[in-house]
């Protein structure tokens, strides 16, 4: 089985081709640089960019995989959550291709894609496991009792972890998205230079909150402005702020994840989403999990941030179970993974008879 994955939920236009053993035959991601001048993603511009680039990106993915579109056996596409217009571009193209090629397509919840990204390269899947999703749009702890079923243990009450990284980066004058730059700067800084708040403490509290932390960095910058400092002193202050902010995020993420893993007696943890590329977070998880005798899995950095290989991997699983989507599947902006799964159980159907009728 050869499956084309399509992802266009935010500001990355992505296509990938995978075979049924989850080998990535190609993975193409086109970043939309236009948003950096606005300090955040402009939804209308994102949709227009997807419209212009998605078809060439799909062609490129097919070329790199040396696969003719007629050889595809299925299409997996993000149907939400995300920017509605952006998701619609991918979904419409997926439906059009599926119709013309007479193959099934399946709508995938973006977070299910991230969950599959952790095991993609090894082509294994440990269950039960605990998944920490940390990205620009989401921060969630998800219990995965088995492949394809999910229980959400906690989520953020305000900003996502990546959003906090991006907002602090903006305060410090970095481009968008700024998580990677904070990661780099933090390597030169002292994580103990400032003590920033760790929100939602308490045993068995798996909710997150990062907006207070972001405000604490802003308050620090207002009280002690850095713009007029000598160059070397300013650079050191920026590095210290990055290291101290990052340490606060990492500590909260690790403590809550390990505590949930202990409560549910889980030995395997995955950390996925754009922030899972953070070097300090990866190192701290490796250390803590080895102390606790737990296994931790991260995708490689190019599979942490949004990509179509993870959507194809989730699609291969769904398609193998005959879980195809109907043509009236709509894009959605917001729906939890658990709710979406419940809703789609009844609406996913075996499309082949319908396709045959349509083409008669
Ligand atoms: O998963 P992703 O590509 O998009 C969403 O689904 O949201 O995640 C993007 C987020 C951005 O907020 C970006 O700043 C953050 O991931 N990010 C990082 C790093 N690389 C990307 N945050 C911290 N450290 C990094 N190395
Ligand atoms: Zn994502």
Interval between CA 246 and ligand 2 midpoint (Å): 20
Same domain, yes or no: 323 and 236: no
Same domain, yes or no: 155 and 235: yes
pLDDT along the chain (360 residues), means of 10: 96 96 96 84 94 98 98 97 97 98 97 95 87 96 94 96 96 93 98 94 88 97 94 96 98 97 96 98 98 96 96 96 93 90 67 44
Cα–Cα distance between 245 and 278 in angstroms, integer?
Answer: 13
For the Cβ of 165 lying below 6 angstroms from any atom of ligand 1, the answer is yes
CB atoms within 10 A of CB 248: 22
**pLDDT tens figures, 88-147:** 999 999 999 999 999 999 999 999 999 999 999 887 888 899 999 999 999 999 999 999
Helices 231-263, 179-186: crossing angle, 10 deg rounding: 110
- Closest ligand 1 atom number to CA of residue 305: 3
Same domain, yes or no: 219 and 277: yes
Q: Whose CA is nearest to atom 8 of ligand 1?
A: 274
Residue among 327, 346, 284 nearest 106 (CA): 327
Cβ–Cβ < 8 Å for 14, 28: yes
Same domain, yes or no: 254 and 142: yes
Cα–Cα distance between 309 and 115 in angstroms, integer?
Answer: 12
Give the closest ligand to the alpha carbon of residue 139: 1
Helix (H) or strand (E) holding 72: none
Q: Looking at the DSSP assignment, which residues form a beta bridge with residue 129?
A: 144
Cα–Cα distance between 26 and 334 in angstroms, integer?
Answer: 29
DSSP strand pairing (74-80 vs 2-7): parallel
Same domain, yes or no: 152 and 288: yes
Same domain, yes or no: 216 and 182: yes
Ramachandran assignment for 115, one of left (phi > 0), alpha (psi -120 to 50 degrees), beta (any other): alpha
- Closest ligand 1 atom number to CA of residue 177: 14
Same domain, yes or no: 148 and 282: yes
- Exposure string of 290-319, with b = 16+ CB inside 10 Å and e = fewer, is eeeebebbbbeeebbbbbbbbbbbbbbbbb
Helices 110-117, 337-347: crossing angle, 10 deg rounding: 110
Number of domains in the chain: 2
For the Cβ of 183 lying below 6 angstroms from any atom of ligand 1, the answer is yes
Neighbours of ion ligand 2 (CB under 5 A): 135, 306
Mutate to test the pocket of ligand 1, among 7, 30, 159, 165 (most ligand atoms within 8 A of CB): 165
Q: Containing domain of residue 293, as a range?
A: 126-298
For residue 339, what pLDDT is reported?
87
Helix (H) or strand (E) holding 319: helix 309-320
- CATH number, domain of 273, equals 3.30.420.40
Q: Whose CA is nearest to atom 21 of ligand 1?
A: 274
For the Cβ of 191 lying below 6 angstroms from any atom of ligand 1, the answer is no
- Closest ligand 1 atom number to CA of residue 166: 14
Contacts (Cβ under 8 Å, ≥6 apart) of 146: 127, 128
Same domain, yes or no: 102 and 151: no
Mutate to test the pocket of ligand 1, among 110, 135, 155 (most ligand atoms within 8 A of CB): 135
Backbone phi and psi for residue 327, each to the nearest 5 degrees, phi listed first: -65, -20
In-domain check, residue 199:
yes
In-domain check, residue 267:
yes
Cα–Cα distance between 218 and 225 in angstroms, integer?
Answer: 10
Same domain, yes or no: 87 and 140: no
Give the closest ligand to the alpha carbon of residue 310: 2
Torsion, CA 228, CA 232, CA 238, CA 243, rounded to 10: -160
Q: What is the pTM of this model?
A: 0.93
Same domain, yes or no: 150 and 99: no
Same domain, yes or no: 89 and 223: no
State the DSSP code for 325: P
Torsion, CA 79, CA 84, CA 90, CA 91, rounded to 10: 50
Q: Give CA separation, 258 vs 98, 103, 130, 200, in Å.
A: 42, 42, 9, 15
In-domain check, residue 120:
no
Cα–Cα distance between 12 and 7 in angstroms, integer?
Answer: 8
Interval between CA 276 and ligand 1 midpoint (Å): 8
Residue among 100, 121, 316, 69 nearest 92 (CA): 100
In-domain check, residue 167:
yes
In-domain check, residue 244:
yes
For residue 356, what pLDDT is reported?
43
């Amino acid at each position: 089985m050869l499956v084309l994955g399509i992802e266009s939920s935010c500001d990355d236009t992505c296509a990938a081709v995978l075979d049924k053993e989850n080998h990535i035959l190609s993975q193409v991601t086109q970043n939309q640089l236009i948003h950096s001048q606005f300090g955040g993603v402009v939804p209308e511009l994102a949709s227009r960019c997807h419209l212009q680039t998605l078809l060439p990106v799909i062609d490129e993915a097919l070329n790199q995989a040396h696969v003719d579109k007629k050889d595809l056996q299925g299409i997996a596409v993000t149907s939400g959550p995300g920017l509605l217009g952006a998701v619609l571009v991918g979904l419409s193209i997926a439906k059009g291709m599926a119709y013309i090629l007479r193959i099934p397509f399946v709508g995938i919840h973006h977070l299910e894609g991230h969950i599959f990204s952790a095991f993609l390269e090894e082509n294994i899947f440990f269950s039960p496991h605990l998944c920490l999703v940390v990205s620009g749009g989401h921060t969630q702890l998800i219990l995965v009792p088995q492949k394809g079923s999910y229980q959400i243990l906690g989520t953020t009450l305000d900003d996502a972890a990546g959003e906090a990284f991006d907002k602090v980066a903006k305060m410090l004058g970095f481009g968008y998205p700024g998580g990677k730059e904070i990661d780099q700067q933090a390597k030169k800084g002292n994580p103990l230079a400032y003590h920033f708040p760790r929100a939602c403490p308490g045993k068995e509290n798996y909710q997150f909150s990062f907006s207070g932390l972001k405000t604490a960095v802003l308050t620090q910058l207002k009280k002690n402005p850095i713009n007029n400092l000598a160059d070397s002193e300013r650079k050191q202050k920026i590095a210290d702020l990055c290291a101290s902010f990052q340490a606060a995020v990492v500590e909260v993420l690790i403590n809550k994840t390990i505590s949930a893993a202990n409560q549910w007696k889980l030995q395997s943890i995955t950390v996925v989403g754009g922030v899972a590329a953070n070097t300090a977070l990866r190192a701290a998880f490796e250390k803590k999990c080895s102390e606790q005798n737990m296994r931790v899995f991260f995708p490689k950095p190019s599979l942490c941030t949004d990509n179509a290989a993870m959507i194809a991997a989730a699609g291969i699983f769904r398609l193998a179970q005959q879980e195809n989507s109907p043509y009236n599947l709509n894009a959605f902006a917001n729906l939890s993974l658990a709710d979406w799964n419940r809703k789609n159980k009844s609406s996913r159907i075996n499309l082949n008879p319908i396709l045959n009728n349509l083409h008669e």
